[in-house]
Structure 1
Amino acid sequence: MSESIKIFAPATVANVSCGFDIFGLAVDNPGDEVILTKRNDNKIVIKEITGDEGKLTYDPEKNTVSVPILRYLDKIQNKTGFDIILNKKMPLGSGLGSSSASSVAGVFAANELLNNPLEISDLLPFSMEGERIACGAAHADNVAPALLGGFVIIRSYEPLDFIKINTPDELYVSIVHPDLEVNTKDARIILRQEAILKKIIAQTGNVAGMVAGLMSSNYGLIGRSMTDYLVEPNRAILIPYFNEVKQAALETGALGASISGAGPSIFAFSQGKEMADKVGQAMKAVFTAANINTNLFVSGVNQNGPRILD
């Protein structure tokens, strides 16, 4: 029986334009790595954290990597202790599901080391508890795709009901993360609570169109459905040059573009990797011209979620 395991969990794009709090997809990179090792007692100890610039707590009751493990162990009534090493491979507050990747990697690793007493999908509620620690609300639009892979719809939270849907083989994601930080809590505060019925109807049409387009590999329909009437107009003001970056993506040939999660990362959908590379470079160039450093990631839709590393 293995005493230690190393897990990678992927970054995610949540909301995916029109699907605020209900859409999310996993990408191949970046992501987080967690090394979990059994202890001879029942303690959960965070031994080391890298890549966080010293920002994350080592308190197991307050870190997104350990809280899901604690809740998981409570549920299965297991007293096993673990040492945790967390290697952050993406920036905090990036809009790429950084806290979700840590949550998923941790609880997935624990389940593996304990010989998988629960199905992968049953780990979702524990992963969501990491999100509660990170931003005050147990959202699933990041953790679900990070855990399950692919494109996930959160149909309902009470009760929790989620669906993983098929996506076109040639659908690629370009993500530009500028060296800026948007706090998720701040990004939620700025949203207006009221919504005009006409906009809600238009938004619902786009949500339906996105699902239909993904499942039928209709790239044109995917692109036409990528208009967010409710959230993007408010959050865009928190991201310098957002409109210029989005326009650059569209002019280069992207199907559509929007904010990844709460931002500041901006993503675009393209048909084919060659186009996705061109779109990513065009998006990056806008920030470069404004003397803002960026990271660029180009990926297909990651269908696998977390994986065991050698």
Structure 2
Amino acid sequence: MEASNLKERLEESRILTEVRVFAPATVANMICGYDILGFAVNEPGDEVFMKRVATPGVRITEITGDEGRLSYDTDKNTVSACVLSLLEKLGIDKEFGVEITLHKQMPIGSGLGSSAASTVAGLFAINTLLGNPLTKQELLPFCVEGERLACGTGHVDNVAPALFGGITLIRSADTFDVIKLPVPKDLHVAVVFPKVDVPTRDARQLIKEKVYLKDAVTQWGNIAGLIAGLYESDYSLLARSMNDVLIEPTRAILIPEFYEMKELALSLGALSFGISGSGPAVVAVTNDAAIAKVIAAAIAAHLAAAEIESFQYVSAVNNEGPKVIHASYETI
């Protein structure tokens, strides 16, 4: 028997019973692209361990790293609720069950897409257990429902980059029209999370319902320039374009030392600096990993002097999205 045929026979005689998946944190908005741009980073992120069991149902058996803040209720936890929704949609929710362990490895309420990372990890895990019947594009609506459960609105700008990896443009949230954009090879970011509380709902309530046309035109130009800069790997154009005149002036009020951090980052060579998602995490965009490390350390020191604890992450853009880090099979 040929080796390839033997391999196929062996694979057909196994069933995937356990899987551990990592999904990355994300920087929504990419400074000037409110609700339409975002990118994934290599760290932090969340892990989901999922086990197939005979008894139907979806159960959360353990949650770590959440300081007791997340629910074990299947209908209230974004991971279990979305997994159950997918199984019901496929009509196989009564055929078997799954047990889920969620390992939170990133801060909740940080502006780094915490709920999105967990949801994407869970849905990627169940899809893997099932043999990948759905494409990532088909998984996206289930991910968005997780965001709706977590914060009341089905945002796409965190789940899209977490699911697809890289930099994503949300052309239409209503139709889940998502486009992956090019990632310049030297693009690196310094992400700093000051340990202060800025709930997403509160941050959204501060946003003005109406804006001046001249400000809108400026923002449109910046978004267009940002996208052009990505395609051309033009860091000078990126630096000129990544400027938010609509959302940052309001949300910055909620983040202590924001403008001091921004001035410090730009003085140390950042191309741009802004708020990650709804904050309080902030991001400095650079074209050099070493500069990103210097900026992260400098901002951390500045916050420490102001008696504000922080976490720092330096990363290139994560082009992969979720990934399987362990899998177990059973012979049938």
TM over 0.5: yes
In structure 2, give the amino acid aligned to 1:217: S
Taking the aligned partners of 2:144 and 2:174, their CA distance within structure 1 comes to 14
Question: Which of 69, 79, 87 does residue 65 from structure 1 map onto?
Answer: 79
Q: What amino acid is the match of 2:314? A: V
Partner of 1:191: 207
Confirm or deny that 1:111 pairs with 2:112: no
Listed one character per residue, the Cα deviations across residues 101-151 of structure 1 (whole Å, up to 9, x for unaligned) are: 000000000000000111122111101111001110011100000000000
CA deviation vs aligned residue, 1:50-87 (integer Å, no higher than 9, x gap): 00000100011111111221221122211231101000
Pairwise mapping of residues 7-22 of structure 1 onto structure 2 (< 5 A)? 7-22=21-36
In structure 1, the residue matched to 2:284 is 268
**Structure 1 unmatched ranges of 5 or more:** none
Instruction: Provide runs of 4+ in structure 1 moved above 3 Å.
Output: none
Residue 181 of structure 2 corresponds to residue 165 of structure 1 = yes
Contact 1:187–1:262 (CA under 8 A) maintained in structure 2: yes
2:69 corresponds to which of 55, 58, 70 = 55
The correspondence for 1:6, drawn from 2, 20, 32, is 20
Percent of residue pairs bearing the same amino acid type: 50
Instruction: State the TM-score, normalized to the length of structure 1.
Output: 0.98
CA contact (8 A) 1:61 1:67 kept: yes
- 1:141 paired with 2:157, answer yes
Partners of 1:277 and 1:214 in 2: how far apart?
22
The 5 A counterparts of 1:32-47 are 32-47=46-61
Aligned partners of 1:197 and 1:66: how far apart in 2? Answer: 43
- The SS at the match of 2:24 is strand
Q: Tell me the secondary structure at the aligned position of residue 211 of structure 2.
A: coil
- Deviates further, 74-83 or 296-305: 74-83
Contact kept, 8 Å, 2:22 with 2:322, in 1: the verdict is yes
Counting matched residue pairs gives 310
- Secondary structure at 1:66 match in 2: helix
Two-structure CA RMSD over aligned residues (Å): 0.8
1:244 corresponds to which residue? 260
Q: Supply the distance in 1 between the matched residues of 2:164 and 2:175 (Cα, whole angstroms).
A: 18
Query: Aligned residue for 1:214?
Result: 230
TM-score (norm 2): 0.92
Q: Is the contact made by 2:206 and 2:251 (CA closer than 8 Å) also made in structure 1?
A: yes
Matching residue of 1:91: 107
Q: Partners of 1:172 and 1:100 in 2: how far apart?
A: 22
Stretches of structure 2 that go unaligned for 5 or more consecutive residues are: 1-14, 327-332
Distance 1:227 1:165 in 2: 19
Q: For 1:168-195, what per-residue CA distance to the aligned partner results, in whole angstroms no more than 9, with x for missing partners?
A: 0000010001111210011111111110
Conserved in 1, the CA contact under 8 Å of 2:46 and 2:106?
yes
SS of the residue corresponding to residue 65 of structure 1 reads: helix
- Show CA shifts across 1:245-301 (max 9, x none): 111000000000000011000001001111111121222222111011111100000
The alpha-carbon deviation at position 93 of structure 1 amounts to 0.2
CA distance in structure 2 between the aligned counterparts of 1:223 and 1:81, rounded to whole angstroms: 50
Q: Tell whether the 8 Å contact from 1:67 to 1:129 is kept in structure 2 after alignment.
A: no
State the SS of the aligned residue for 2:197.
Answer: coil
The residue number in structure 2 matching 1:124 is: 140
Structure possessing the higher radius of gyration over alpha carbons: 2
Rounded to whole Å, the distance in 2 between the matches of 1:123 and 1:239 is: 34
Give the letter aligned to residue 12 of structure 1: T
